[in-house]
Amino acid sequence: MSAKSFTKLVKVMEKLRSRGGCPWDRAQTHSSLKKHLIEEAYEVCEAIDSKDPERLKDELGDFLFQVVFHAQVAKERGAFDIKDVIRASYKKMLRRHPHVFGKHKAKSPEDAYKRWQEKKGQEKNYRSRKSLLDGVPKTLPALLKAQKISKRAASAGFDWPDVEFAVNKVHEELEEVKEELKSKNKRRLAEEIGDLLFVITIVARFGGVDAEDALHSATKKFARRFGKIESTLKRRNKKINECGFEELYRLWRINR
């Protein structure tokens, strides 16, 4: 049933792109679809965080449709089709899991990751790269990109000795931010804030924490606490912009 359903989905996509199909779908290109692919990926992530299986199922379907959409656009150009995409993924998974489909077994998740990276590095696309840092998508969120860059550098042995060294660098960068705040030079301030954020991602890596997820959680917590302040003030028939910092901060501390 699943194979038939997938075939039906591909047929729907072909119909949408046909002469008698949907004008909007027919007008799309790989480039115009990029933002939709990114949006669907984020919606999948939100569904995972919601812990709602039905919502996740729905969002994964939307994301899968984007894959089918890109494959159809490529097919019309004579580049490849969805069968080629599936075949390439199948072969890649076999190739990159020698510890599962080969003789050598992985002793731990770290060992499995190492073997994955070794096989990945042997592939043509990766052998042709001039730098170990090549291939990190430019469109990644900044914190996620910083993590990937620092992790790759660390995998080559370019890393700070321990977490204490990393934490000391945070203090060092923070002092430099303070100095640039005094200078009021926005360009240098932006550079120092960037350095501080980058160092924090390294501290997160040492602690085994995903900096991107940590910031999402912190932002969500901030919004929740802010909402409680608004609710409290609404019950008191007060507007937030009518309150001074002392009152707002007191409510902030209460609404943890």
**Is the fold of 2-96 the same as that of 129-209?**
yes
Class of CATH domain 129-209: mainly alpha
pLDDT mean across residues, the chain:
90
In this structure, are residues 29 and 36 in contact, taking their beta carbons and an 8 Å threshold? no
Q: How many angstroms separate the CA atoms of 228 and 221, rounded?
A: 11
State the pLDDT at residue 226.
93
State the pLDDT at residue 256.
77
CA distances, 12 to each of 8, 9, 16, 69, 130 (Å): 6, 5, 6, 10, 42
Residue-wise pLDDT for 72-95, tens only, equals 999 999 999 999 999 999 999 998
What is the pTM (predicted TM-score) of this model?
Answer: 0.67
State the pLDDT at residue 189.
95
State the pLDDT at residue 127.
63
| Helix (H), strand (E), coil (C) string for 166-185 | HHHHHHHHHHHHHHHHHHCC
CATH number belonging to domain 2-96:
1.10.287.1080
For residue 49, pLDDT over 80 is answered with: yes
Exposure letters 114-150 (e unless 16+ CB within 10 A, then b): ebbeebeeeeeeeeeeeeeeeebeeeeeebbbbbbbb
State the pLDDT at residue 124.
66
In this structure, are residues 225 and 252 in contact, taking their beta carbons and an 8 Å threshold? yes
Least confident of 99-113, 123-137, 242-256: 123-137
- Name the token pair of 175: 């002092």
Q: How many angstroms separate the CA atoms of 70 and 49, rounded?
A: 27
User: Region 125-136: what's the mean pLDDT?
Assistant: 72
State the pLDDT at residue 126.
63
For residue 62, pLDDT over 70 is answered with: yes
Domain ranges of the chain: 2-96, 129-209, 213-254
State the pLDDT at residue 117.
75
Residue-wise pLDDT for 1-35, tens only, equals 578 999 999 999 999 999 999 999 999 999 999 99
